[in-house]
Amino acid sequence: MGIAIITSGGDCAGMNPAIKHFVDYCFIKGKQPYLIYDGLEGLIDGNIKKAKHSDVAGILHQGGTIIGSSRSQRFFEYEYRKKAFEHLKSHKITKLIVLGGDGSFRALKQFYDDFGIQFIGIPATIDNDIFGTEYCLGVDTALNTIRNGIDAVRDTSSSFKRACVIETMGRDSGYLALISALTSGAEVCIIPELEYDLISLGEKLKDQMVHGRKYIVCVVAEGTKQTHNILNWLENDLHIEARATILGHIQRGGNPTVYDRLMAVEFVTFAIDQILNSKINDGLVIVYKEGKFDFKTIDYINSATYSVKPTLLEMAQNMTK
């Protein structure tokens, strides 16, 4: 029985430590590990390699994924999934570990329904938006990168008596923006999960400026599409010079934090142990909740959308009105 690992969708820090540990731990357990390159696109094209220790030497500290990733349109079509299955069959690979988001897990579930290839999903996305798990690989590194960005922009904003608008990634989720706003002392936090009132926020900030406030930090989640509106509001209503910084893809890269390295090792260990104990039936996703690891079905993961902890949302209310 061969076990393969694949990284799919948006890459994130923590994928390389996971790939390295996958190879090392498979050898410890006497199993041959395989690497699938370039995500589902590579699987369709048969870009699969028997792993050696040397393939993963010296990668633990690197961001991204050394085996590459992709968002595959072709995998939606049966004929390409069949090609992918033939490649796995030729290598005698019967189990997969997939690092990615819920879209990747759904694709692999379809693959299981078609051809019976069992898999374990490891949540890996900076968006932290997978229902059922409190943590997805890559989130801690992304948050620390955002923190560095906000700290740096604040330095120059305060020097110039300016306001800054910092846009974070997260797709439809405001998680990254919310945690960053809370931990960076932002004055304004605009996320899809919370309504906001620019009139009352404006009055409060104007009063603070009269009493000595020299700069304003606004964190805006990309999912709200409000970055430019907030910039205009600051300049036109609050009459403070303002600049916008879209952090963009720097949030996805960079070397993984200690926490992401540790979570990578733990996620992979649990996944392989589960596979070796023959405890997977079709497709399962490892979730991390209240300090413990558990396995959930794809149906469960898809049964609701992720929602940010209400207590955290409550703490951000004063940054919205």
Q: Nearest approach, Cβ of 311 to ligand F6P (angstroms)?
A: 24
- Of residues 20, 154, 252, 296, which one binds ligand F6P by CB under 6 A? 252
- 102 as an active site residue: the answer is no
Q: Could you give the CA distance from residue 123 to residue 133 in angstroms, rounded to a whole number? A: 8
Instruction: Tell me whether strands 242-246 and 292-297 are parallel, antiparallel or unpaired.
Output: unpaired
What single-letter DSSP state applies at residue 254?
Answer: S
E strand or H helix at 256: none
DSSP structure string for 109-177: HHHHHHH--EEEEEEB-TT---TT-S--BTHHHHHHHHHHHHHHHHHHHHHHT-EEEEEE--TT--HHH
Q: Nearest approach, Cβ of 107 to ligand F6P (angstroms)?
A: 15
- Cβ neighbours around 321 below 10 Å, total: 15
Our finding on whether 106 is near ligand F6P (CB under 6 A) is: no
| Residue number with CB closer to ligand F6P (252 or 296) | 252
225-235 per-residue burial string, b: 16 or more CB within 10 A, e: under 16: ebbeebbebbe
Segment near ligand F6P (CB under 6 A); pick from 39-47, 164-172, 225-233, 259-267: 164-172
Segment near ligand F6P (CB under 6 A); pick from 43-51, 155-163, 169-177, 276-284: 169-177
CA 15, distance to chain mean position in Å, is 10
Our finding on whether 254 is near ligand F6P (CB under 6 A) is: no
Segment near ligand F6P (CB under 6 A); pick from 147-155, 167-175, 184-192, 291-299: 167-175
Q: What angle do CA 108, 171, 154 make, to 5 degrees?
A: 140
Our finding on whether 63 is near ligand F6P (CB under 6 A) is: no
Please tell me which residue in 11, 38, 127, 140 is annotated as part of the active site. Answer: 127
Helix 258-276, helix 139-160: angle, nearest 10: 160
| Residue number with CB closer to ligand F6P (109 or 252) | 252
Count CA within 13 A, CB hemisphere, residue 47. 16
Q: In Å, how far are 121, 127, 193, 309 from 314, measured between CA atoms?
A: 31, 20, 11, 9
Q: Nearest approach, Cβ of 77 to ligand F6P (angstroms)?
A: 20
Our finding on whether 169 is near ligand F6P (CB under 6 A) is: yes
Q: Nearest approach, Cβ of 10 to ligand F6P (angstroms)?
A: 3
Our finding on whether 122 is near ligand F6P (CB under 6 A) is: no
Write out the binding residues for ligand F6P, residues 283-302 only, by CB under 6 A. Answer: none
- Of residues 127, 140, 187, 260, which one binds ligand F6P by CB under 6 A? 127
Q: Is the dihedral of CA 46, 49, 50, 51 positive or negative?
A: negative
Our finding on whether 171 is near ligand F6P (CB under 6 A) is: yes
- Of residues 6, 7, 8, 10, which one binds ligand F6P by CB under 6 A? 10
Which spans of this chain sit near ligand F6P (rule: CB under 6 A)? Answer: 10, 125-127, 169-171, 222, 252
Active-site residue set:
127
